[in-house]
Structures are given as C-alpha cells and as structure tokens.
Structure 1
Amino acid sequence: MNSPEPDDGPQTAPSAVRSASRPRPRPWGLLAHRNFRLLLTGETTSKFGTSVTSVLLPLVAVSTLDASPLMVGVLTAAPWLPWLVIGLPAGAWVDRWPRRPVMLCCNLLSAALFATVPAAWWLGFLSIWHVLAVALLAGAASVFYSTAYSAYLPALVAKSELMEGNAKLQVGDQAARVAGPGVGGLLAQTLGSAPGLLLDSLSFLVSSVCLLRIKATERRDTPSRRHLRQEISDGLRFVAHDRHIRLVTLFGATLNLVLAAYQAVQVVFLVRTVEAAPGQVGALIACGGLGGVLGGLVAGRLARRFGSARTLVAVQLTATPFGLLIPLTGSGPLLSLFVMGSTVMLAGIVACNVIIVSFRQTYCPPGLLGRVTATTLVLNYSTIPLGAVIGGAVNTALGPRTAMWTVMVALLATNGLLLCSPLRRMRDLPEPHTALESALPGHG
C-alpha cells in the first residue's frame, strides 16, 4: 500500500504527474501554476457547454418533442444510469491507466455524441429516444472522465493546495453555470434548442486541447496483475470500513437524490407553472450559479478559520432553509423568490462539495484513490436516476408547484443526517494518516 505524501510536496504515487519544483507566488496561488491554469480553463469551458446543455436538452424534450413530465424525469436520470453498471470497474481501470488519455477519449466521444442531436434535427428524424440515447452514452463517457479527473488533480498539485484547487475549479464550474443557462435560453430563442447543442460539442474540443497542452509526464508502475474483482473489492472495503468516508458518502447520496428530483421538476415548474419564457428560464437557473460561485470562493476560507467539519455542518444547516422560497415563485416580482432561494441554497451545497471532495482526495491512500473515488461516486450518483424519476412522477401526479414543495421539504430533511452524526461535535475532518489504518482489514 502506498503512504500519503507530506502535505508540502507533490505526490509520487503510481500514476502521479511529476512536475518540476516551482515556487508558487502567493498573490495568485495556483493561478501561477501553468498546468493548473490549463486544467481550469479546459474544465470551465467544458462545464460551460454542459451548463448550456442542461437547459437546452430539457427544452428539446419539452418544447420540440412535447415530452411528458415523466419522460423529462427519465431524460434527467439517463446520464447517471451508467454509474450503476460500469462505475465500480471504471475505478479499477482508471487506477491502471494513465488518467489524461482517458479524459481525452471521453471528451472526444462526448463531442461527437452531442453533435448528432442537431444533425438529426436538421435531417428531420430527431426523436425523444435519440435524445435519451445521447444522454445515456454521454453519461457512460462521464463515468470514466469524472473518475480519472478526480484522481488527476491530486497528482498535479501538492496536497496542501487541494482545497485551493478544488475551490477554484468549483468557482469556474459555478461561473459556467451562471453564464451557461442564460446563453442556453438565448440560443433556444434565436437558433432553436437542438442547434444550440453544437456549443457543447465545441466546449469538449476546447477542453481536449487544454489537456494536450499540459506539460507533465505520467509515470506508471508495473500494471497490476490482480483480478479486477479484487481491485474493486479494495475500494468497496475501504468505503465500507471507514466511518468518515462512509458518512460523507451517505450524506452525498441522500442529497443527490433530492437535488435530482429538483432538477427534474425545475424546468417544467418554470415553463408551465410560472410561465417563464425560455430566455427567463435560462436567466433564473443561472442565478443559482451565482450562489455556487460564492460558495466556492468562501469554502476554503471558512474551513481554515472555523474547521472543515464545523463549516460543513453550519453551512448546510444555514443554506438549505432558503430553498423553501422556491415553491413560492410566481410571475413578475415573485420571480425574485426563485433567485434568492436558489442562490443561497446552491452556495451552501457548493461550499460543502469543495470540503468533501478535498477531504476525500487528501484522506485516501493514493494507490486506492481511483477505486475509492469510483465507489463513492457510484454510491452518490446511484440515487440520481431514482431521484429524477421520482421527481418526474411526483410532478405528473401532483403538479409542478406541489412537487417543488415536496422536493424542498425533503432537502431540508437531509440535514438530519448531519445533526445525528459525529461531525456536529468535530472541528475538523480527520487527517490523512487515519486512512491508512482504515484501509487495512480488521479496522473500522
């Protein structure tokens, strides 16, 4: 088993990216790190394209193909279903393979897939089943990309820089979420929902160019000769035996269940209940991204000042009640309720995400990181298809506004997991050396 590296130096675990030693100018932090800048640029561009698609794809289903609310829920669930099938072996494979080539292949496949939607629309044979197939296959590519990406960052920067790196990546992600929906709504009104998906294809290509320009050499150890099933078991055993990883994974899975239902309801709620135009839908969803930017900016500072565990609990308990403003949204001035509720709610969620991801990356043994990441993501994401389908079903049965009330009350109830956990009595999440004991058989 590989030991965690010291916090003040880059990792030298298998698959680690060996970069030349460099001083890091404090005023700019990781923005002075060329490789990190390229990763940040590529990721932010790709997330921008994905954010545009998050508005355009449901609009294609609702406005172009006249899909039912239940079908919109199924479409929301489709990108996450591959996690249930290939998530665990993907973690073992990513621990065997160089991470960057995996990310490049996934980007190129996704670019090609999303380009088929406007092509089918122009040729006159676009159907909801085509859109579902694209969402499903792009989701399969995302399984490998997300696992490789999460394991790639700790190899690119020092452990002491992971909180900063994750925070900056989350800020870029949320900034893309601010701009993307507005651009998506504008594209839908001017060019149409289907043609606008070409922008997402282009964003994947830009991300690939940035990855190719990263100047770092991946060093690989001798490939593992162990059976794939044994390697998968290592990741499962680590997550099952370690109470801290187990807790944040359970919390993430529950939160994702509720947020997936929210995603399945929000476009239908805004279009059919609030009667917002496509451009307004994009702008309203973008406002939640502003909160995400704020959450990414303050997460590291709050964790350093008050403690990572204390910040995780306090931020979640403070932010989620604002979600109760969203079901009160109406036309005119009442649109401000959606803005306020989604902004504060997502600020808290993103801040907690920065803390949890940074904790997992520093806490887990480097040689297990791909498998532990895949295991936790499979468990976290396995609830998303269920949540999306539940959201669509509740929407169909009770109507959009009642469905939105149901989702927001459920989101508030997730705080019970934190209130009943040992985290409420801790200042900080555990240090990395604890993970070594938990990874061994017989330790809990």
Structure 2
Amino acid sequence: MSTGGTAERHLLVRNGNFRALMVSSTFGVLGNAVAAVALPVIAAVELDASNFEVAALAGMTFLPWLLCGLLIGVWVDRLPRKPVMLVSLSVRVLVLALLPLGYWFGFLSTPLLFVAAFVAGVAGVFFQLADAALVQQAVTADELMEGNGLITGSGAAADAAGRSAGGWLAGAVGASNTLIVQLTTSVIALVAVQRLDVKEIVRPRSDHRIVREMWDGFCYTFSTAPLRALLLNAALWNLGGNISASLLVLLVLRTLGESELWLGLLLAASSIGGAVGGVTANSLGERFGSGPLWRWSMVPGVLGYASLLVLSPGVGMLWGILGMFVMGASVSWNIVVGTSFRQRVCPPDMMGRLGAASRTVSWGMLALASLLAGVLAETVGIREAVLIGVLIACTAPLVALLGPLRGVKRLEDLAEAPAPAARAEATRNP
C-alpha cells in the first residue's frame, strides 16, 4: 500500500535530491536569462559596440565548450559533482559582479565584457556537465523523461521570466544594473546545491592520461548511429538557429528601431514555448513515441525562426512573438528526448565526457554561429544574415526525418544494449 502511494506522488514530492537539482537549475536559468538580455544591450547601448561585437558577444559563453569542453568533461568524471557545482556558481558570481561595479565606477569596457562572459561560460561548462551527471543519479531510468521534462519546462519558464524582466529592467534601470538579479539567483542556486544528498558514482582514480580519456569520451559520442544522429541534428540546428538568434538584438534595436521591452517579449515568448514543450514532452512521447516526437520537433522550429524575417515595427512584432513561442516548444521537445536517451544509455562514469564531447560539437556551433552572424551582419546585412541562418537550420529536421532513426518508434528501446565504446571502456577498466 505504501509503495503504491509513493509511486503516485509527484517526482518533485517524492525525490528531494531531484527537487534540489531542479531549484538550482531553475534559478540558474533565471539569472542567465537576465544576463543574456543585459550583456548585448550593455554592448549595444552603454558601450556603443559595433554590430560584429554585439553579435559575437553572444558566443562568448559558448566558446569554452569549443575550446575546453572535452578537458572539463574529464575532470567532471574524475571529481565529485556537488563541489564542482558549488565552485562554478561561486566563480560566476564573482566574475559577473565586476560588470555593475565597472559601470558604477567607470571602468566598464567592451574587452572586460568579453572576458567576463567567457570566464562565466567556463564556469557554466563545469556546472552544466556536473548537473547533468547528477540528474542521471538522482532519478531512475524510467523517470528520466519526466525529470528532464520538468527541468526543461521550469527552466524555460524561468528563462521567459528572466528575459522579459531583463528587457524591462534594461530600459528602466540600465542594463548593467540588471545583472544584480543574476547575482541573487546564483546565490539561491548555491543554497539549493548545498542541500543535495546524492551518493555519487565517481570513477576510480585512473592512470590514463587526460588526452586518452578525452578521446574515449569523443569516441563514445560517435559510437552508435542514434548518438551520431542526435549530435548532427543538434549541431546543424544550433549553427543555423543561433545565427538568427545572435542577430535578434540588432534586428530589434537597430533595424526596426524598437525598444528593449519588445526584445524581452520576443525572448520571453521562446522561453514560454520552451516551458510548454518541456512539460508536455513526456506525455507526447508516450502517446506518439519518442522517435516521431524527436524527428518532427524541428519542423515547426524552423518556421518559428522564419517569422523573424517578416517582423515590422508595432503590431508587426506579434508575428515574431508567435514564431518564437513555436520555436521554443520545438526545441524543448527535441532536447528532452535527446538528453533522456543519452542519460539512459550512458554509464555514470562516462557521463561527464559524453556531455562534454556532444556539447563541444553542438554548443561549439553556438559560438561559431555568433561569430559568423557578426561577419554576415557587417557584410550582407542583418535581415539577409537572419535568412541565411534560417536556411541552415532547415537541414536539422532533414537529418532527423531522412537519417538512420527515421523508422524508430521508441528511442529508449535502442538503449538496452551497451554501446561498443562502453564495452571497450569496461574491458580496459575491469
């Protein structure tokens, strides 16, 4: 009787460790959302940076994935994850506190903005890899879709609140001052992480060189057709989609001459859509199958980004709000299915390296997309650059619909047999 009652209770109620992870993740996303609006506005308005600098700044928090994601993944697998999360949050607080101080005391500059964004990005790599590894250990395999859906949904809702608040606060009190919100939410996330009580699975100390372990993680990421398809889909989407997303500030503030409030509303719409997508992913996966949900998720996402091409001042901005909502829901469906599959199939002692290798490729595309967006904005124009991003993003659903997973009903059925790289790893480390 008691067992049945426990099973019926909501995951947030019955699992305190998952609850702590969700609180830390949600408040972390809330603060990052405010910063995501504030940083480019600081560059465009307070520092009068060039179009290239404003677009490229968006990639600074993702560039660490490209430069050192694999190395950090090895360290996350070697260390207890909870201390890693605590230290990374502390570093982020200290670094981002420099920006409002610089604004108040007159030493804020574009180079400082770029350095702070990059260092905060390095701390974010440590935090997100450790967080994903702990989620895998805090819930059962059958709870992964539900747990990831809740985290994605609550994070998207927090992102919506943060971006809309960030847009309003940037206009009301100044973009630099809005970063105080990010500092506050990081402290709340710190407290939540401190309450974690997970018996962690950490790799025994290995005599393998770091380069060898980095290579093992990279090989595992490409070891099966499902993992390769998930990665290629994400990489193409991030490359094309983030070209368009990186230009949103310039499109709204400079091309259309609209206010930071409209910018915040557009960003919030994508996050609200993400919240809806996150909380509906598990039920949609059960009804239609995780395979079809993943394959078709990016089709409406492309149409959502395409709505940016028809934006016009005033009521014409509403098309973008609708499109960004649809895009956000699509991305959440894709992320929940892909993340849950990786967590289900990956051994716990490989989780940091799998996350690092996959995000080095897929999130590294976010950094490259921002740099490319800056170049395109300067050479062909802002609207034309958005169009190029949309066309590249169109290749992502093609990979899903025509690739090796085109006939799979349930991706989780593919997770029963260990991947070749996992078997090889087990052989080397009996």
TM-score, reference length from structure 1: 0.91
- SS of the residue aligned with 2:8? coil
Does 1:431 pair with 2:414?
yes
Letter in 1 for 2:43: A
- Give the Cα separation in 2 of the matches to 1:229 and 1:100: 24
The range that moved more, 353-362 or 146-155, is 146-155
Equivalent of 2:265 in 273, 276, 283: 283
Q: Which residue in 1 is equivalent to 2:379? A: 397
Q: Which residue in 2 is equivalent to 1:153? A: 135
- Give the Cα separation in 2 of the matches to 1:249 and 1:388: 19
Q: How many residues align?
A: 422
Aligned 1:400-415 pairs, distance under 5 A: 400-415=382-397
- Give the Cα separation in 1 of the matches to 2:419 and 2:395: 33
Question: Percent identical across equivalent pairs?
Answer: 29
- SS of the residue aligned with 1:275? coil
- Give the Cα separation in 1 of the matches to 2:18 and 2:424: 36
- Give the Cα separation in 2 of the matches to 1:294 and 1:308: 17
- SS of the residue aligned with 1:223? coil
- Give the Cα separation in 2 of the matches to 1:370 and 1:216: 16
Does 1:312 pair with 2:297?
no
Q: Which residue in 1 is equivalent to 2:64? A: 82
Q: CA deviation at 1:388?
A: 0.6
Q: Which residue in 2 is equivalent to 1:333? A: 315
Q: Structure 2: any 5+ residue segments left out of the alignment?
A: 426-430
- Shift in CA distance, 209/216, structure 1 to aligned 2, threshold 3 Å: same
Letter in 1 for 2:418: A
Letter in 1 for 2:414: E
- Shift in CA distance, 185/317, structure 1 to aligned 2, threshold 3 Å: closer
- SS of the residue aligned with 1:216? coil
- Give the Cα separation in 1 of the matches to 2:310 and 2:13: 41
- Give the Cα separation in 2 of the matches to 1:379 and 1:39: 25
Aligned 1:18-417 pairs, distance under 5 A: 24-218=6-200, 220=202, 222-417=204-399
Q: CA deviation at 1:317?
A: 2.3
- Shift in CA distance, 332/358, structure 1 to aligned 2, threshold 3 Å: same
Task: Provide the alpha-carbon RMSD of the alignment.
Answer: 1.9
- SS of the residue aligned with 1:66? coil
Contact kept in structure 1, 2:11 and 2:147, CA below 8 Å: no
Q: Structure 1: any 5+ residue segments left out of the alignment?
A: 1-20
Q: Summarize deviations over 1:356-391 as a string: whole Å, max 9, x none.
A: 000000011222222111111111122111111111
- SS of the residue aligned with 2:406? helix
- Give the Cα separation in 2 of the matches to 1:257 and 1:277: 27
- Shift in CA distance, 221/321, structure 1 to aligned 2, threshold 3 Å: closer
- Give the Cα separation in 2 of the matches to 1:413 and 1:219: 38
Letter in 2 for 1:146: Q
Letter in 1 for 2:173: L
- Give the Cα separation in 2 of the matches to 1:244 and 1:216: 29
Q: CA deviation at 1:257?
A: 1.0
- Give the Cα separation in 1 of the matches to 2:142 and 2:268: 32
Contact kept in structure 2, 1:109 and 1:141, CA below 8 Å: yes
Q: Summarize deviations over 1:107-155 as a string: whole Å, max 9, x none.
A: 0000111110000111111100000000011111111111111111011
Letter in 1 for 2:327: M
Q: Summarize deviations over 1:213-267 as a string: whole Å, max 9, x none.
A: 1233436564223222222222122123222111111111111112221221001
| Structure 1 runs of 4+ with >4 Å offset | none
The range that moved more, 351-360 or 26-35, is 26-35
- Give the Cα separation in 2 of the matches to 1:40 and 1:174: 12
- SS of the residue aligned with 1:425? coil
- Give the Cα separation in 1 of the matches to 2:300 and 2:92: 37
Contact kept in structure 2, 1:30 and 1:164, CA below 8 Å: no
The range that moved more, 393-402 or 180-189, is 393-402
Contact kept in structure 1, 2:23 and 2:189, CA below 8 Å: yes
Q: CA deviation at 1:408?
A: 2.0
- Give the Cα separation in 2 of the matches to 1:221 and 1:150: 16
- Give the Cα separation in 1 of the matches to 2:216 and 2:416: 18
